[in-house]
Structure formats: structure tokens, C-alpha cells
Structure 1
Amino acid sequence: MKTDLHTHSTASDGTLKPAELVTLADSCGVKLLALTDHDTVDGLPEAKSEAVKHGITFVPGIEVSTLWNERSIHVVGLGIRYEDGKLARVFADVAEKRVNRGKDIGKRLGELGFPDAYEGALRFAAKKGTLSRAHFARWMKMNGYVKTVQEAFDVYLGDGCPAFIKTVWPSLEEGISIILNAGGIPVLAHPGRYKLPEATPLSQLMKEFYEAGGLGIEVCSGSQRSETEAMLADFARQYGFYASLGSDFHTIGGGRPRPGEIHTLPADLDPVWKHLPALAGIL
């Protein structure tokens, strides 16, 4: 069964509306799909409704921005409760931080010779509270300041670059607790993508993620090198993590796989979807 448990829509920094994302996933043969927008659940009702039309089993999710050792670390929450509005209230503060960060990025880009960046990036965002670096990158590409979105990150927006603004997200422990309190399973997103210093290697992140209550890791991801999968599978075995996989799809032609077009998990690992209560008796 083709599965994708990490995707994005226009509710955060994707370019397809939730229903459009589901339709694309269906065309790619996906049968089990999670929408995991950054720090918002706004796209889940639309995606869930569209998934029913296509006969896709839908997993409500979110990707929580957290801070660990002064590094931005993302934690996917799968199988979350979102209908009661509690999660939306929790992330109202995060939305405000995104607005403030966006203004600071816009100011920094202006100083670098790119005027009106904040206003320009907002045109790519569904609303102010979902503004992200990806929206700035698309604005820069549209205006010819960079050739690709990735170039915008590599030269201007990425960690340590001239327009990078450090933001105080919830701690890793707080992010995990938010997901657990919403009935979800915390999954460390694309662990192989983080460029960690020798002082705090990936093994340390895995240990502290486990100790903080983390339950799963993405072994296969469209946003990390496939060569890391064997190493991540070993971490899953070492800590007994559930194994997840996802394309981290944001846009067509964005350099990442389309929904579902990722490697399958090693047969001996414990798939995370087997532990989602809402899927009991379905899969």
C-alpha cells in the first residue's frame, strides 16, 4: 500500500490547496495519506473531506517547529485530535512569532537590496500567521533575485545566512507534549537533513528525543539523502522507534518526490501506522 505521512498544502508553505494535494496523491496511487502542515491544522478538514471522495485513508497531522540546542528541529504529529479547536489555540502564539519573524526577514532582505520583501512574501502565504521562509524564497525567485528556491535558502535564508532570523520556537520537549496531549504520535521529521555540529551529533538528538517521549522517526524522507536511511533504520531498531516515511512534498517541480514516490521501509521495522488508534481494524 503506497503511503505518504508527510505532505504540505497552502495552509502552510505548500503550493497546492489541501483538496488539490489529495487529488495529486490519488493520481500517484497513494492510499494512506497524512497532511502535516507547519504549526497549523487549518487544512485538515478540507483534506479529510477530499480523501473520502478518493477512497484514501486520511491521517490528520501537523509538523511542529521546535528548538533543540539552539537548532530548529521539526516533529511531525500523526493521528492528532484537531476538531475541538484546542490545537489551533495552542498554535496562536506560534503564528504571532511567524509574523514577527517575517517582518524581521523582510527588513533584513531590504538591507541587502531586496525592497518590499515582507509584503511580497505575504502574497504567497494563505495568511500572515503561516508566513515562512519558503514564501520569501518563492518571492525572490519570482522577482529574478535567485534562480531557484533552494538558492534563496543556500545564499540568504538558511541557517547562518544573512537574512536568517533565529526564532524561539517551543522546546523539543514542549513540542512532543503538544502532540501527545492531542492524542498523536510524535515522529522526528527528516532526521538525516539536520546539519548538526560535532558537539551535538544526531545520536544525541535521537537519545534526547526518545527521553522526551518521542515515539517515531522518519526513516525514509523526500527531503533527506537516501544514503542516510540505513543509519536511521539502525536508530529505529536501537530505540524501538516506530518507523515512518513521507515525501515532504511542497510543490510540483520543487526538487522533491511527488506524494508517495519514496522508498519503502525495511521489512523488520515497526511501521507507525500500525499504532494509530483511528486506523485500528482498517489496515
Structure 2
Amino acid sequence: MKQTPSPRCALDVSTNADLHCHSRVSDGTLQPEELARRAKTQGVELWALTDHDEVGGQQRALDTALSLDLPYLTGVEISVSFAGRVVHIVGLGFEHQNPALIEGLRNTRGGREPRAREMAAGLAQVGIKGAFEGALKFVGNPELISRTHFARFLVESGHCSDVSEVFRRYLTEGKPGYVEHRWAKLSDALRWIHEAGGQAVIAHPARYAFTPTEEYALITEFMGHGGRGIEVVTGSHSAAEAIKYTETALEFDLYASRGSDFHSPEESRVDLGRLDGLSGRLKPIWELLRDRIHWPR
């Protein structure tokens, strides 16, 4: 009688992995437990919660995923400064209670409240009062108040029709509510991830609008610090961008990742588990992380 392959052996490039999403612990609207249930319902076969600069929801996500027979990778999305822009690095498969990682993330979060108060002051100058207090209503973790929380307040209060309009009018560089923040160094983020036993991935590379020279510098410096992965298929990429970064992954011999970057049922472009697949020519990042996956018993 032919035996059914173990799920531990069945993961391959066609696996419906979703390794990038956010809960209310950072700037999502659902709790980690709700996200786990949504991922399972949507057919996700390998899941990671990747809150911004915070691992406080990891145990809740892990416990719920395993209770649902959903394999799980620990995750985080770290904000770093590179070439005058904010770049996001996803860490996967690390020990989420690692003290150095937790301390590094805490320091990265440290400047968010002063920045948020400056953003509110800028918005007040164009007639939008009470933005800091309004944004706080949408924050699950006050240490992680962000532009997304301000955007939700501005939509709720009728200043804009949707979150995209808020960013266009108020929260991007040169607009009244934009305030730059100095994030972690790329080298620090990768060191925290690697010393905690994980692997690093460049998140949604098309979003940064780098020149080819700047992008080459990012990728080579990332690899110089031991980075091994790049997001190819994500809710932030068009089909053409997914093709472009398929070729990038092959050119640099990087492992490919995929993730919806899901934040909210009302706001996100792509739901959990609803991404296009990776090209069969690619090496999926979960091959590199097979020994770091938490498997249901």
C-alpha cells in the first residue's frame, strides 16, 4: 500500500506559503489568532506572522497555527535605513525569545512616539486637529504607532476617502504629515535575525523605487551581511514586477519568498493565501528553513 508523504516532505516551490502579514500587535487590524484562522481557511499551507519591529504576537500566532494543523515559521519585518529610504527586511525562522533580537527591536521602536507627535503637529498646521489622539485609537501597541494608524484616523474622520488617498495627500515625503525616522542599520537587522537562528529576506523590493545602481547596492550589501532571500510574489508587486524579481533571484542566486503583506480585510490588495505561485525555476526560502518550521504534532 502506497504511503501518503509526510507534510514535512511535501513542501516545495508550489506550496501555498504566506510569509508576510501583520496583526494588531503592529499595524494590522486582526489579532494573531484571527489571522491564523483566516490563513487556514484561505488554504495557506505554511504561514508566518511578520509584525513590524515586534515579536510580541509570535507565541500567540504559533500556538493557534499549530492548533489548526498549520505549519508555522516565526517572523518579523524590520525597518532599516538604506540610501535615504526606509527598506523592510523580513526575518523568518528565528528564536522569537532571543534577547538580542528583542532588545534590538525595542530600540528600533523607540523613536516612533516622538515621530508620531511631529506628524500630528504637521497635520495640525493644515487644519487637522487631534491626529495623534485619533491615531492612538487604532493602535494595538502604542510603541508601534505608525503612518497607517494616522491614515485610518483620517479616513474615519472624513478627511480622505481611503488609506491610499491619505498617503498621497498627507503622509509621503514633502506632505504635511511626513516625518522621517532613523531606523536600524541593515547590518544590525541581519545580525539580529541570524544570531537568533533565522534567515533574512528583502521585502517587496519594487516598492522602494531604487535606481538600478541603488538596487544593486542594496542586494549586494544584503548578501554581504549573509542575506539569502528576496520576496518575489507579494501583495505589493504587479505581475510584471514578480517576473522581474524572479530574474533577480536567479541572477543573484537568492532564495525566493512570497507573502500577501496582509493588514486588513478592508484595506489589503491581496488576502492571505491568494497570491500567484512562485516560478518553478526558483528555490523557495522555506527549503532553506525546513528545520526551523514548527510542525503540528
Smaller-chain TM-score range?
A: over 0.9
Which residue of 197, 210, 217 maps to 2:223? 210
Aligned position for 1:168:
182
Q: CA RMSD in A?
A: 1.7
| Other-structure match for 1:235 | 248
**Aligned-partner Cα distance in 1 for 2:59–2:149:** 23
Q: Are positions 1:111 and 2:125 aligned together? A: yes
Report the alpha carbon displacement of residue 246 of structure 1 after superposing the two structures with TM: 0.3
Is 1:134 matched with 2:148? yes
| Residue among 14, 17, 40 paired with 2:54 | 40
Q: TM-score, normalised by structure 2?
A: 0.90
Counterpart amino acid of residue 187 in structure 1: V
Change (3 A) 1:47 1:281: closer
> Which residue does the alignment assign to 1:267?
280
- Compared with structure 1, are the counterparts of its residues 281 and 46 closer, same or farther at alpha carbon in structure 2 (3 Å cutoff)? closer
Shift in Å at residue 162 of structure 1?
Answer: 2.4
Question: What is the aligned partner in structure 1 of residue 259 from structure 2?
Answer: 246
CA distance in 1, matches of 2:103, 2:220: 30
After TM superposition, the structure 1 = structure 2 runs for residues 171-190 of structure 1, keeping only pairs within 5 Å, are 171-190=185-204
Q: CA deviation at 1:245?
A: 0.3
In structure 1, runs of 5+ residues without a counterpart are none
Please report how far the alpha carbon of residue 280 of structure 1 lies from its aligned counterpart in structure 2 after TM superposition: 9.2
* 1:171-211 deviation line (CA, Å, top 9, x unaligned): 12221112112111110000011122x48542332222222
- d(CA) in 1 for partners of 2:30 and 2:294? 30
Structure 2 gaps, min length 5: 1-14
SS at match of 1:52: helix
Q: Are the structure 2 counterparts of residues 180 and 90 from structure 1 closer, same or farther at C-alpha, using a change threshold of 3 Å?
A: same
Question: Which of 21, 35, 39 is the matching residue for 1:7?
Answer: 21
Percent same amino acid at aligned positions? 36
Tell me, yes or no, if the aligned pair for 2:115 and 2:181 is still in contact at 8 Å.
yes
Higher relative contact order (CA 8 A, sep 6+): 2
Contact 1:206 1:235 in 2 (8 A): no
Please tell me the residue identity of whatever aligns with 2:57: G
Distance 1:146 1:69, change over 3 A: same
Partner of 2:9: none
AA aligned to 1:54 is L
Rounded to whole Å, the distance in 1 between the matches of 2:21 and 2:202 is 14
